[in-house]
Chain A
Amino acid sequence: MKNIETFEQEIRNAIDAADTIEALEAVRIVVLGKKGTISEKLKSLGSMSAEMRKTAGPLLNSLKKQINKLLIEKRDQLKKTALGVQLAYEKVDVTLPVRQTPAERGRIHPISQVIDEITTIFSDMRFTIATGPDIETDYYNFTALNFPEGHPAREMHDTFFLNSDGRRERKLLRTHTSPVQIRTMKKQKPPIRIVILGKAYRMDSDTTHAPMFHQIEGLVIDKTATIANMMWILERFCKIFFELSSVKMRFRPSFFPFTEPSMEVDIQYDRSGVDVKFSEGKDWLEILGCGMVHPNVLRNCSLDPEEYQGFAWGMGIDRIAMLKYGMPDLRAFFDADIRWLKHYGFRPLDIPTLFGGLSS
């Protein structure tokens, strides 16, 4: 059986030489096909003597097994190589850019974002949010809020009035969100704990004033609310809103027709550098007005000032947005310049939460 070794070697050589799956398949047919060389030899076993068969049988069968195994191995190898070539061919330039997802392109206006921040803070203190109409009557905007007749704010150079057709009361654009205090107190029995958000209008236009702006007001009415509670709320608000570990605030007596006692509140800040830094430095920045609701205002809402008491505060949303996020000019808030919107706007998934520390 010397020639079986040569025979085997020839087959092995042929397998080695096959460099494609097709060539390998051709080798397989030549060797193991129906009329293949090994198949033919196996067929010839029948015509052999029993003794020869006894030696040749196992040899041939083992050869078939080995060759089969070799063919499978080679096939896998060739397949792998071919796949490698194919994959190399399929290579793409993964540095090519992809389109930005819409949620990443869109922007929420800073005013809306700050409104959500304020809502987040005050909802945690169980305040509900109240709103009211922009077009108001003199009564809700001034009279009920204890503005005396002839107060300068009631004049045309401060307040926008709507045309009156002579028959009805002349309406106006509210100059503050405080009419909502009156509307709420007239329809809801204390305890009242609301935050009022909305637009207000005054005849003004410069870098820090616009004819339309946004205000936030708070109102607490019950039988025990004091200035001390008001201070606590405002300090808490400023701390969370401006995201400071501590905040230095200064309450100083002031005057508003609808509160008594009245105060203005300053926050300590440092403006020596490029950025405004809070709770540092020696400058004070006025950020809000507040006070105990004036007894006349309570009376105007049919609440007895001997029984009920409470406090209110108000500030400009635009203003605190500018302070927190550093926009220099209020008028740009209403210009809708795409560059400003993209720069100062917020991604829609930047949703203010207390667990996330308000802003990202």
Chain B
Amino acid sequence: MKFTLSWLKNHLETEKSLEEITDTLTAIGLEVENVDDRSAFSSFVIAKVLTAEKHPDADKLQVLNVDTGEGKPIQIVCGALNARADLIGVFAPLGAYVPGLDTTLVVRKIRGIKSFGMMCSERELLLSNEHKGIIDLPTDAPIGMPFAAYAGLDDPVIDINLTPNRSDCASVYGIARDLAAAGIGTLKEIGAPSIINQAEKTSVKIELEFNGAESLCLGFAWRVIKDIKNGPAPKWMQQRLTAIGLHPINALVDITNYLTFDLGRPLHVFDADKINSNLTVRPGRTGERLKALNGKEYVLSSRNCVVADVDGAISIAGIIGGEKTGCDQKTKNIIIESALWNPDSIARTGRELGIISDARYRFERGVDPDFMLPGLEFATQMVLDICGGKSTEAEVIGFEPSAMRKIQFPFSEIKRLTSLDMPEDKIRTILNNLGFKVAGKSKTVIVTVPRWRPDVSEKADLVEEIMRIYGVGRIEPQPLENDLTAQNRILTPLQINIRNARRALACRGMLEVITWSFISEKTAYIFGGGKPELKLANPIASDMSDMRPSLLPGLIKAIQRNVDLGFSDLAFFEVSDIYEGDTPEKQRCVAGGVRRHTEGLGGSGRFWNGNATAVDVFDVKADAITVLEACGIAGDKLQIESTAPSWYHPGRSGVIMLGLRVILGYFGELHPETLEALDIHSPLFGFEVFIDAVPTAEKKATRTRVPLVLSSFQKVTRDFAFVVNKNVTAARIIRAAAEADKKLIQSVQVFDLFEERNLGTTKKSIAIEVSIQPVERTLTNEDLEILSKKIIDNIIKTSGGYLRK
């Protein structure tokens, strides 16, 4: 919402400075977005052309001597056709910034003759599109006067960011009322003019035709004015409209625009001679077309409300008029419309048809219903004043004044919500100044809400009104006392696990990324997604259409973008959500990561003491287990199965299980087909850990740890190597060894693994180191022999292999 300072002062008697006014506007909730003090115009002055002679070396140029009101005349070279001696126009001196040219003027030599400034056209000053010639002012324009002051361009323009609830301030008058309530001057009362009716009835009849359906028109006032003369609007009106960014068109159009902004009353004027028959207000007809005043044609439906004559719609009610019945210089007789429309219908129609107009803006937020008729009177008076003519009687249909809203308001409510301790009379004054009526003498009063405040409906709304006018800045911040009896663990176990997972993965040299929650449909299918209920109806881009079933697609894409930038060794992770369905419990929390090329734990690429080797499935297995360990699960509680989902390499991937039921995650090399489908040309290794599947540890009664029992006998180790079938897992061999004597065997470590032709193509050799911790006594050689035999026997039994000698 834009307006100028002088316009505001039309309604507000004030001596306050511009800064005080704008500060107050922001403080009372009418946030000032911009103040244009119009200093851009300050360097232009009114000047008179003394002489104009043809440029000796150019047919279309003239050399002018210009009197700018001070000192000796200035020589300029000018190409304007209308430049002539005695013309009074607008001069831009050297150093002036000419907005229409986006140039700061310097001395120029044009075909050998120096030019020390320029005479400007309206377009060069961004006043209009007029560029046929330089500005030609009346002969009485005072030479040397700043042009801005002469033309009213020195009037600061204030732009406020109006919140959608404040339709009452979509008018300069409404803003003045708020400012007056806040102590910035006195509101000048406006009484509606009383039109002297010529006893003549309005010749045009209007009917509402909604055939039993809810009427989208809540009142329609109109009148005919005859024999008017439609020329340009007065200069002051044109200046104000121009200042707020509107283009003056003709007096009738400008009057309606002016009243829209001045009093918040949108109006429409039809050229009565272009209307065929009486008018009907009705829903649009399916397929009905209307060419609007903006030059565009709209196809209407029964969801829209129109004003129509027998030939069809002549305006889209409350939004925009039709071109056919618009007013022009030849218009003689008019119908002025001042109506009330259903705000929801206006909003819907505006949105559906994509029309943004000042009328729509006000109607969809709510205009003052009581001002419908006075608005018509104001418009009539202005037309009579500016265009002359004869008014007929005003008519109104479909209007029923609604009951005034009343709120029972205890003054204590202000303190309850804001802590402000306000004197009662101050509260009453503020409410009264804003147009509310306060009835009652007790601590609880009945407040009647003015009809221009559709946004105020209960106590809290009144508290806001009083608070914003009294001053939010007067509220003293008060500490919120800590409730120390609250639980001592702030984060939930899941939240703690998420934090730990992030830090643990970053500690493994990985970089955390955040990727979009939506991915392409194709990728979603590859990773087990693509469910219909997880597809966006209105994606912002085609590759952001499906809620992701996995973090891997986003990570892989992120990796590829960096590969395209020339980076090859990469390790990214993300801890975020995936979507298995559209219900809250189907949103899963996952830690996922992808490693590429040589970006392993120890560092990547070549190095003087040893080059990094290519990452493999065990790097991402370690990542996954690190996450689980960071979430409090001991690594030895986990089982690894080899049945990972289809997007992994079937022979180089695993599932991490807790018991037989709980899947904690997957890891492995990405399936070559997955990579091919994503247009990736080198191996990638990834993992996914379902953090939300990690069981919450039961809270123990004590934090005391189990006593530590230390053996004083020396630890012994024994090595064994077996040749087994390739499909015998290391886990089986480790378990078989450990189970030989659970008491004595402390750990089993695989320290060598190889496959060699002489072992046979289906065999592998696996070597283990068994740590034995005697508990009760030192073990004798015989003891160790017995234990070793048991280990060997156990392994041979489970693996079907043999001991290598």
Kindly list chain A residues whose C-beta atoms are within 8 Å of the C-beta of B514. 109, 111, 333-334, 336
Closest to A102 in B: B509
Report the separation of the CA atoms of residues A125 and B472 in the bound assembly, to the nearest whole angstrom.
24
Kindly list chain B residues whose C-beta atoms are within 8 Å of the C-beta of A57. none
Decide: B351 and A109 in contact? CB cutoff 8 A: no
* Residues from 315 to 360 in A contacting B, C-beta threshold 8 Å: 333-338, 341-342, 345, 347-349, 351
* Residues from 234 to 278 in A contacting B, C-beta threshold 8 Å: 235, 250-255, 260-264
Decide: B464 and A119 in contact? CB cutoff 8 A: no
- Could you tell me the distance in whole angstroms from the C-beta of A295 to the nearest C-beta in chain B? 6
Kindly list chain A residues whose C-beta atoms are within 8 Å of the C-beta of B761. none
Over the window 58-91 of chain A, the binary record of Cβ atoms lying under 8 Å from chain B Cβ atoms (1 yes, 0 no) is 0000000000000000000000000000000000
- Could you tell me the distance in whole angstroms from the C-beta of A153 to the nearest C-beta in chain B? 10
Decide: B460 and A260 in contact? CB cutoff 8 A: yes
* Residues from 389 to 443 in B contacting A, C-beta threshold 8 Å: 416-419
* Residues from 108 to 122 in A contacting B, C-beta threshold 8 Å: 108-109, 111-112, 116, 119
Q: Is B194 on the interface with A (CB-CB < 8 A)? A: no
Given contacts A105-B603, A106-B511, A163-B533, contact A262 B476 (CB under 8 A): no
Kindly list chain A residues whose C-beta atoms are within 8 Å of the C-beta of B351. 152, 155
Partner of B515, one of A211, A295, A336: A336
Decide: A171 and B533 in contact? CB cutoff 8 A: yes
Q: Is B490 on the interface with A (CB-CB < 8 A)? A: yes
Report the separation of the CA atoms of residues A103 and B510 in the bound assembly, to the nearest whole angstrom.
9
Kindly list chain B residues whose C-beta atoms are within 8 Å of the C-beta of A263. 472
Report the separation of the CA atoms of residues A336 and B567 in the bound assembly, to the nearest whole angstrom.
12
Q: Is A9 on the interface with B (CB-CB < 8 A)? A: no
- Could you tell me the distance in whole angstroms from the C-beta of A129 to the nearest C-beta in chain B? 6
Decide: A336 and B561 in contact? CB cutoff 8 A: yes
Size bracket of the A interface: 35 or more
Q: Is A229 on the interface with B (CB-CB < 8 A)? A: yes
Which of B45-53, B67-75, B163-171, B712-720 interfaces with chain A?
B163-171
Q: Is A46 on the interface with B (CB-CB < 8 A)? A: no
Partner of A112, one of B165, B512, B536, B567: B512
- Could you tell me the distance in whole angstroms from the C-beta of A184 to the nearest C-beta in chain B? 13
Decide: B570 and A252 in contact? CB cutoff 8 A: no
Over the window 763-784 of chain B, the binary record of Cβ atoms lying under 8 Å from chain A Cβ atoms (1 yes, 0 no) is 0000000000000000000000
Which has the most chain A C-beta neighbours within 10 Å: B419, B486, B508, B561?
B419
Decide: A102 and B601 in contact? CB cutoff 8 A: yes
Decide: B587 and A135 in contact? CB cutoff 8 A: yes
Over the window 460-504 of chain B, the binary record of Cβ atoms lying under 8 Å from chain A Cβ atoms (1 yes, 0 no) is 110110011000110111111011101100111001000100111
Decide: B480 and A220 in contact? CB cutoff 8 A: yes
Q: Is B348 on the interface with A (CB-CB < 8 A)? A: yes
Kindly list chain B residues whose C-beta atoms are within 8 Å of the C-beta of A235. 477
Q: Is A208 on the interface with B (CB-CB < 8 A)? A: no
Decide: A102 and B602 in contact? CB cutoff 8 A: yes
Closest to A137 in B: B582
Decide: B490 and A123 in contact? CB cutoff 8 A: yes
- Could you tell me the distance in whole angstroms from the C-beta of A141 to the nearest C-beta in chain B? 13
Partner of A251, one of B416, B458, B473: B473
Report the separation of the CA atoms of residues A134 and B587 in the bound assembly, to the nearest whole angstrom.
8
Report the separation of the CA atoms of residues A309 and B449 in the bound assembly, to the nearest whole angstrom.
24
Partner of B511, one of A164, A251, A342: A342
Kindly list chain A residues whose C-beta atoms are within 8 Å of the C-beta of B602. 99, 102
Kindly list chain B residues whose C-beta atoms are within 8 Å of the C-beta of A305. 460
Q: Is B544 on the interface with A (CB-CB < 8 A)? A: yes
Partner of A162, one of B478, B486, B537: B537
Given contacts A162-B536, A338-B562, contact A309 B517 (CB under 8 A): no
Q: Is A300 on the interface with B (CB-CB < 8 A)? A: no
Report the separation of the CA atoms of residues A171 and B583 in the bound assembly, to the nearest whole angstrom.
9
Partner of A341, one of B417, B479, B499, B511: B511
* Residues from 643 to 674 in B contacting A, C-beta threshold 8 Å: none
Over the window 158-194 of chain B, the binary record of Cβ atoms lying under 8 Å from chain A Cβ atoms (1 yes, 0 no) is 0000011110000000000000000000000000000
Q: Is A107 on the interface with B (CB-CB < 8 A)? A: yes
Given contacts A126-B486, A336-B561, contact A171 B478 (CB under 8 A): no
* Residues from 130 to 189 in A contacting B, C-beta threshold 8 Å: 131-135, 149-150, 152, 155-156, 160-165, 168, 170-171, 173
- Could you tell me the distance in whole angstroms from the C-beta of A310 to the nearest C-beta in chain B? 10
* Residues from 672 to 708 in B contacting A, C-beta threshold 8 Å: none
Q: Is B31 on the interface with A (CB-CB < 8 A)? A: yes
Decide: A253 and B577 in contact? CB cutoff 8 A: no
Q: Is B539 on the interface with A (CB-CB < 8 A)? A: yes
Closest to B492 in A: A129
Count of chain B residues near A, Cβ 8 A = 91
- Could you tell me the distance in whole angstroms from the C-beta of B501 to the nearest C-beta in chain A? 10
Report the separation of the CA atoms of residues A336 and B551 in the bound assembly, to the nearest whole angstrom.
13
Decide: B582 and A135 in contact? CB cutoff 8 A: yes
Report the separation of the CA atoms of residues A90 and B567 in the bound assembly, to the nearest whole angstrom.
38
Q: Is B344 on the interface with A (CB-CB < 8 A)? A: yes
Report the separation of the CA atoms of residues A263 and B348 in the bound assembly, to the nearest whole angstrom.
28
Report the separation of the CA atoms of residues A336 and B487 in the bound assembly, to the nearest whole angstrom.
38
Closest to B554 in A: A336
Kindly list chain B residues whose C-beta atoms are within 8 Å of the C-beta of A131. 495
Report the separation of the CA atoms of residues A125 and B482 in the bound assembly, to the nearest whole angstrom.
6
Report the separation of the CA atoms of residues A295 and B584 in the bound assembly, to the nearest whole angstrom.
27
Q: Is B540 on the interface with A (CB-CB < 8 A)? A: yes
Report the separation of the CA atoms of residues A108 and B511 in the bound assembly, to the nearest whole angstrom.
6
Q: Is A233 on the interface with B (CB-CB < 8 A)? A: yes
Q: Is B727 on the interface with A (CB-CB < 8 A)? A: no
Decide: B31 and A264 in contact? CB cutoff 8 A: yes
Kindly list chain A residues whose C-beta atoms are within 8 Å of the C-beta of B533. 162-165, 168, 171
Decide: B506 and A160 in contact? CB cutoff 8 A: no
Q: Is B100 on the interface with A (CB-CB < 8 A)? A: no
Decide: A261 and B463 in contact? CB cutoff 8 A: yes
Over the window 206-227 of chain B, the binary record of Cβ atoms lying under 8 Å from chain A Cβ atoms (1 yes, 0 no) is 0000000000000000000000
Report the separation of the CA atoms of residues A228 and B479 in the bound assembly, to the nearest whole angstrom.
8
Decide: A253 and B490 in contact? CB cutoff 8 A: no
Closest to B547 in A: A135
Which has the most chain B C-beta neighbours within 10 Å: A116, A233, A341?
A341
Report the separation of the CA atoms of residues A173 and B518 in the bound assembly, to the nearest whole angstrom.
11
Report the separation of the CA atoms of residues A103 and B626 in the bound assembly, to the nearest whole angstrom.
13
Which of A16-24, A28-36, A197-205 interfaces with chain B?
A197-205
Closest to B512 in A: A109
Closest to A318 in B: B514
- Could you tell me the distance in whole angstroms from the C-beta of B613 to the nearest C-beta in chain A? 14
Report the separation of the CA atoms of residues A8 and B507 in the bound assembly, to the nearest whole angstrom.
70
Decide: B418 and A228 in contact? CB cutoff 8 A: yes
Which of B21-29, B128-136, B745-753 interfaces with chain A?
B21-29
- Could you tell me the distance in whole angstroms from the C-beta of A308 to the nearest C-beta in chain B? 11
Kindly list chain A residues whose C-beta atoms are within 8 Å of the C-beta of B483. 126, 191, 193
- Could you tell me the distance in whole angstroms from the C-beta of B543 to the nearest C-beta in chain A? 12
Report the separation of the CA atoms of residues A252 and B463 in the bound assembly, to the nearest whole angstrom.
14
Kindly list chain A residues whose C-beta atoms are within 8 Å of the C-beta of B417. 226-227, 261, 292, 309
Given contacts A199-B517, A252-B31, A333-B514, contact A228 B534 (CB under 8 A): no
Kindly list chain A residues whose C-beta atoms are within 8 Å of the C-beta of B760. none
Kindly list chain A residues whose C-beta atoms are within 8 Å of the C-beta of B511. 106-107, 338, 341-342, 345
Q: Which 3 A-B pairs have the closest CB atoms?
A: A253-B29, A261-B464, A106-B506
The 29 sampled A-B contact pairs (Cβ below 8 Å) are A100-B603, A103-B506, A107-B512, A108-B502, A109-B513, A112-B575, A135-B582, A135-B583, A149-B344, A160-B539, A163-B537, A173-B536, A199-B517, A201-B517, A205-B540, A226-B416, A229-B480, A231-B475, A252-B26, A252-B472, A260-B458, A261-B417, A261-B418, A294-B460, A335-B558, A336-B514, A336-B515, A336-B561, A348-B507
Question: Which A residues have a C-beta under 8 Å from some C-beta of B?
Answer: 96-97, 99-100, 102-103, 105-109, 111-112, 116, 119, 123, 125-129, 131-135, 149-150, 152, 155-156, 160-165, 168, 170-171, 173, 191, 193, 199, 201, 203, 205, 211-212, 220, 225-229, 231-233, 235, 250-255, 260-264, 292, 294-295, 305, 309, 333-338, 341-342, 345, 347-349, 351
Extra 6 A-B pairs, beta carbons < 8 Å, given A336-B515, A351-B503: A102-B509, A108-B512, A109-B512, A128-B486, A163-B536, A341-B511
